Structures are given as C-alpha cells and as structure tokens.
Structure 1
Amino acid sequence: MAKATEAANNLYVLRDTYFPPNPQDKLTKLRMESDAALKLLDSIPPDQRKLPLQRATYEYLRGKILDVFPDYRKEAEDHLSKAVKLNPSLADAWLCLGNCIWKKGDLLSAKNCFNLALSKGPNKEILCQLSMLVRKLAQGSENQAEMVEESIKHAKEAIALDVKDGNSWYNLGNACLTSFFVTGAWDHGKLLQSLKAYQNAEKDERMKSNPDLYFNCATVNKYLENYERALSGFEAAALKDPGLNASDEVQKIVNLLDKLDNFLKVHKKAKRLASMASSLTSVSLSPPYRRANVDALTEGLNKAVAVVGKIKEGDQLILLDPIYRFADFSWRGKSYQFKSIRVDFLNQLLLNGKPLSPSQAVRASIHAQHKP
C-alpha cells in the first residue's frame, strides 16, 4: 500500500509541475502515469485490502488517482465516498472528495467535505483549498468582500501551521489580490500585501515550478507600475506554461509603453508644452490644497497638492493628493523614461472644477479561476 500511496502522490506532483507547450501532452502523460498507479494499486493482494480500514485506504487511493484529471469523474467520487464511509477519520480522503465534488459544481457540498476534513485536525492543505473555495463562492454574492476576508483568514491559518510553506503564502497572495479588486481596486495596501505574500512563496524551492505564481505576481507588479518586474514575471510564466498566454500580457505592456514613449516624443517640445501650459485657466482650490506642477512633486504620495492638466480642448482635470512615480528602466534594449501621476479615489478627480459622478468611472476588475 505504501508504494501505491507514493505513486498517487507523485501523480499530483506531475500534475502541478509539468507544463509542456501542448496541453494535450500533459493529459496523455497523466493518463499513462495514472494507469500505472492503478495497476500498482490492483497488484495489492486481496487479503491485504479486506479489512474495513484497509479497504478504506484502497478506495481512497483509487479515487485520488482517478481524480487527478481536470474534469469531474463520477467513478472517482464513488470510490472516495466509499473510503470516508469505511473510515471517516481519513482527512485526505475528505479533501479529495471535496475537490472532486467541486469539479461538478456542488460548491456547498465541497465546503462541507473540507470542514469535515478539518474536524480531524488542522491541516494547511485543507485550509488552502477551503480558502480558494470561499473565494469561488464569493463570486457574484451580495457579501463578496466579507467572504473574501474569510478566505484571507483561512489562508493565514494555513501559514500559521507552516510559515515556510510556499503554497500557503501563494494562496494568501491570491486572496489579497482578489480583495483588492472586489473592494474597488483602489487600496494599493492590499496589492503590497499580495506582493509580499508572493515574495515569501518564491522562497520555497518547490514553488519555482508554479507558473501561476509568476503570472499573478507579475499582475500585481503591473498594477503597482513596476513595469520591468511585471514584464520579467510574465515572461517567466510564459516559459513555464505556454498555455497561460502570459506572452500576450508582455506584448500588451510593451505596446502601452511604446505608445506612451511615442506620445512623449511628440509633446515634449518646449514651445508646445509652454503653449499648453499657458492655456490652462486659473482654478480656485479649497484649503489646504496648493497648486503645483509635475516637477515640484516628490516620489510617492503628495498630500495637499493639486495638479492641473488638460485632457482635451476646453476641459481641465484637477488631481488631488496625487501619487508621483518616476519610471526609468530598459526592456529588450529599449529604454523607457517617464513621469507617472496616479490617484486612487474618484473624489480625487475634478473635471472643470467639479467632482465626477460614479457613472463616469470604470473600476478595474479581474477574472479569477479557482480550480480544485
């Protein structure tokens, strides 16, 4: 039984670390290895899987091996259900059953399985899966933000059990990133928490084979305007798993940077800038705000400062308490250098001296896939 257990565990390592250019090759490899694991399991003499506890382990391993594929398999659920009936104390069997049921869309039953697994004792892997499932349940719910906070709580509980476990840190990073978007995509503190969690995950050598870690960390860096790190992260993700389409993300950022670079070349002429600046009308600012030009801004948050700009003929835009950043980096032999000004709240924007309405703002969003 020990060899069959090792074969089942190795099967999941293959699932989580093997990302060939053609995804079909991965399925073929999984089928081949799962067939070998099932043969090894069936080679166990009948008299060694006769007793209830022995039979429970056999059913559990058979169900676990069958459930390694991305799609739901009823046969896997049947074997795992038999296992927990024969031995309700098998925590990993409850975990596998929850993952299997999740695949068929019965999320509440899956959550019940995870909670039953946790009732056998604290377990970081189960807590991570529960954290993911809660985020999945949160999608489209009325109390989405509260449920994501519950997800973060479970993620932190997993870390408390093993502070060096990279997967637990990765899961916390995902939970904080989700929280950033569901709360309006304005709190960069959540992005920094997410980035810190991903950086802790990267310290675990086992996580270096996880392309999603690189992709998600690059996503955070993109929103934090760390463009060079974002490009490096997306490129690393593309090399590890071509199926992630991370190369498209690299191209999107490069296109944006090139567009910005070309725009600055056109508009940086002194006479043109002087003409545009002189066309800005005076504005009355409420205390404590004072008007400042871009050159007077300091790196980071500029409290009680207002920057006035023009977006089209006749319209002026005022940015209150802007966050300033000077970007200076190179990518693939091309240098980029520009000044960035950002505000995070709608009430920090004034159009022609008047506040904008919520209908005039578009929040950033993310489409997250939570796969068991």
Structure 2
Amino acid sequence: MASEPEDQLELIENVSEIMLDLANELKKLYSYRDLFFENHPVEMASQKNKCVNEKKDLLVAKFESYNVDVQIPFAVRAEFLYMKGKCYNISSTYDSRAMQCLSKAVKLNPHLVNAWNELGECYLKNMNLQEAKASFEGALKHERNRLALRSLAIILRQESGQLKQSEISSAMFKSVELAKEAVAQDIKDGVSWSVLGNSYLCQYFMVAQDPATLKLCMSAYKQAWADPVAKGQPDLHYNKGVALKYSECYGEAIKMFDQSCRLDPGWQPPVDERAELIHYLTEATRLVRTRGKLKAKRISNMVQTIDKKMLGEYATDLYNSGTRKDVQLVHVGLDELQEGSNEGKVILARVLGSIHNKNAVPFTFAVIDKSLKCVCVSVYNWANGRGVIIGDVVAVPEPVLTTHAMDSDLAKFDFMSIRVNNPLVLLVNGKRVNRNQFARTRVTSTYEIH
C-alpha cells in the first residue's frame, strides 16, 4: 500500500483491529526476545540477535506498509508511531528510525507515557544521557511508572563520575530510592529488582562499605533471579558476579561471569572479569604455595627477626572496633587463627611478596610468621601505588580468615586469606598506616538498558 500515490490512499476503516493486531505482535516479539533462553538452549546465544532481528523485520514490514500521515487516523497516530518506534527499538543498537517515530509520537501526544520511556531508552542507546533523562522525567510528569523510575536510577549512577565527592552520597541514595519505588510498582518485575541491586552495590562502594548494604544488594539479586526475563539477561549475572567477587565468594563469582559470557558471547566485560579473577586466584595460590619463591634460609631469618615491639600500640593500648570498645588484643601465631572472625587477637608477620592485580583492588600480599604458616592478606581501599614491600612487618588486629578453594574446568585455586576492609587498622613496621593512604573502592555496573 505504501507504493500507491497518496491521493489514492484513504483512512483505514478497521483501524482498531489493525492496531490491536500490531500491538499483539509487538508484545509477542518482545516476549520472544526477553524469554529467548526459556525456549532456546544457551548454546544459541550467539544467534539470538539474528533470530530477533528476523522476526523484527517481518513486523517492521507490516508497520511500513501503512502511510502514517495519510492512512492512520489522527486520534491513534501517536500510538501507532510509538508502537512502530518500539519495534525498531528492539535492537540492541541505536536505530535512528526509532528516534524519528518516537519523537513524533510525543509531539503528537505529550501524555503518552510509553512513548516517553521508549524515547528515553533510544537516547540511552545513542549515549545521550541528558536527553534520556529529560525523556524519563517527561514520562514521570504524567505517571509514576517503574520503567522511568528505574531508568533514572541507572542514569544517576552513570552521572556520578562527573559529580563532586560531596554530591555523590545524595545521588546514590536517590538512585536507591527510585529503584525501590520501581520495585514497589511491581514486586514481580525482576529487572527492577536487578536495578535496585546495582544501586545498592554502587552505594556500598561509593558511600559506605556497610556489610548490611551488600546484603541488601544480594537480596535484591535473589528476587530478580525469580523472574525469567531478568535471569536471561547477562547483566544480572555480571553484576551479581561483581558483588560476589568483592564478598570474596570467588567460586560463585566465576560461575556468574561465565554464565554472563555464555548469555552474550560478544560482550567483553564479563570475559575480562572472569580472566582477571582467575589469574588473581591462580597467582594467590602460587604465592602462598611457593612462599614468594624466597629461599628457606632467608625466610628463616625473616621470621626469627620478627620483634613483638612492632605490635606498637596494639601491644599496649586498648583496641576499639565498631560497637566493641576497649579490647585488649592478644598476640597469636597464624597457625592459631580459626576460620572466620578472630576477635581479641592480633597477628604479626613478615611480607613475602605481593600480587600484581590489574584492578589494583584488593591489594594482596602474602605473610608468614614463626609458625611458618603462610596466608594472603587482601586489603581494600588502599590508595593505588601504596602498600607494603617484601620484608615489611605487618600487624593485623582481629583478622578474619577464609579458605578459598575451587577445582573445576573453570578454575583451580586453594589458599587462605585475611580480609582487611580498612588499611588504616594496619600497622606496618610498628607504625599506623597514614590516612592519606585510604582511597574508597569505586565500581560501576553496566548494560542495564535492554
């Protein structure tokens, strides 16, 4: 019909039936994409976009068979343009045709919330954050809806890199609040839960590393997992993998990154994360097993010259940690530590070597004491370029000891480590680490707009 001269075209009489048919087909198209892995094996991941685009092209042809300005009645023209633009916009990359249709739709009907939201997603694909933000805010002027709310939560986090330190906290809290409101709109929407989890994850790193925040993050991801739409998205696995990595649940993190790679073979971040994490864990295992490749005689001299005077204030002063005040620390050997928390105890050991970590987080080094037991120490929030060198004596109060082990086709590692969230609690050669050596870990999540 599009090839006929315009003066021979007339308004469509059965427009209601046509609009309903197009709406149903559009819904089926998005369902086909969103639930692809519910109906296809993950081995078909590399073909997903091709399969979706083939179905998209068929529906595009139907939309393009109508001359919008001549055949579609004005009363439904905005809705038609919205659906046509949404059809174009199903692709993972920016499509200028979608932008044209959606821009016309909101001009014809500024109250069309769905068109504002779709236009916002279109701008995001074109890396235009300001226009995307304006579009989602335009949708919220007419209706509080979860898509606009969670999209603004994402944009707030993406903008945080340009904010002053004093402005970051309020932006992160606002991101969490918007995501929580989106979840409240539909508690079964896993994508909103996933966005909430990402907001908590960023709040944890960029505001305060409160373990309770990380628990809220993992809880949100668990809720997202119940929704097959969210579970089929590689970003949920990727971002959950990031959270698991910083929780030092390394085996689970590797599995998450691996599944993210399988769901989207062309997406590079999970490939890099998986490779870097496996390399880090392999190096940690080797460092502990070989004791830094130092000769036995040198190690013997190193441990024999450990002087308890280097416990410094931890030998004489009372220690305060969180809600626990005025604790008298007792010096123990590495072989006396128990798995988990060791309250009221302090270790003193020499550094055998460190791991070159591309991410620089955490700064990891191996220590040994007179018991000749060797473990890793992972220090978070230590300023880049800071750290310790071979031979330094390090005191760690109330160490938390964990065994990390995995033996599978994905990775093989086996070592014990002590986690230190705040480098300022450490004593290096008897002296407290300076405050200017503290630098908060920052992390971002990506790939959230589908």
- How does 1:1-372 map onto structure 2 within 5 Å? 1-13=19-31, 16=34, 28-43=50-65, 50-142=72-164, 143-183=167-207, 186-245=209-268, 246-267=270-291, 276-282=302-308, 283-284=311-312, 285=314, 286-287=317-318, 288=327, 289-311=329-351, 312=389, 314-332=391-409, 336-361=413-438, 363-369=440-446, 372=449
- 1:96-139 deviations in whole A, cap 9, x for unaligned? 11222334444333223212312333322222212112212222
Counterparts in 2 of 1:23 and 1:166: CA distance versus 1, 3 Å: closer
Q: Deviations over 1:62-107 (max 9, x none)?
A: 2222233344444422321221232222211110112223344443
Secondary structure (helix, strand or coil) at the match of 1:365 reads: coil
Cα distance in 2 for residues equivalent to 1:297 and 1:53: 75
State the one-letter code of the partner of 1:108.
Q
Q: 1:248: how far off?
A: 4.2
CA distance in 1, matches of 2:125, 2:410: 45
Partner letter of residue 290 of structure 1? Answer: V
Alignment CA distance shift 1:352-1:230 (3 Å)? same
Q: Which residue of 1 aligns with 2:361?
A: none
Unaligned runs of 5+ in 1: none
CA distance in 2, matches of 1:266, 1:248: 27
Check 1:136–1:259 CA distance in 2 against 1; reply closer, same or farther (3 A cut). closer
Q: Give percent identity, aligned residues only.
A: 29
Question: What stretches of structure 2 of length at least 5 have no aligned partner?
Answer: 1-18, 319-326, 352-388
Q: Alpha-carbon deviation of 1:172?
A: 0.9
| Cα distance in structure 2, aligned partners of 1:8 and 1:351 | 63
* Bigger share in helix: 1
| 9-18 vs 251-260, greater mean Cα deviation | 9-18
Q: Is the 8 A contact 1:23 1:243 kept in 2?
A: no
**C-alpha distance in 1, partners of 2:404/2:69?**
70
- Report the Cα distance in structure 2 between the residues aligned to 1:45 and 1:106, rounded to whole angstroms: 30
Counterpart of 1:174, as a letter, is N
Normalised by the length of structure 2, the TM-score is: 0.72
Give how far 1:336 is off: 4.4
TM-score by length of 1: 0.85
- Within 1, Cα distance between the matches of 2:430 and 2:418? 19
Code of the aligned partner of 1:119:
K
For the pair shown, the structure with the greater C-alpha radius of gyration is 2
C-alpha deviation, 1:313, in angstroms = 5.3
Contact kept in structure 2, 1:321 and 1:343, CA below 8 Å: no
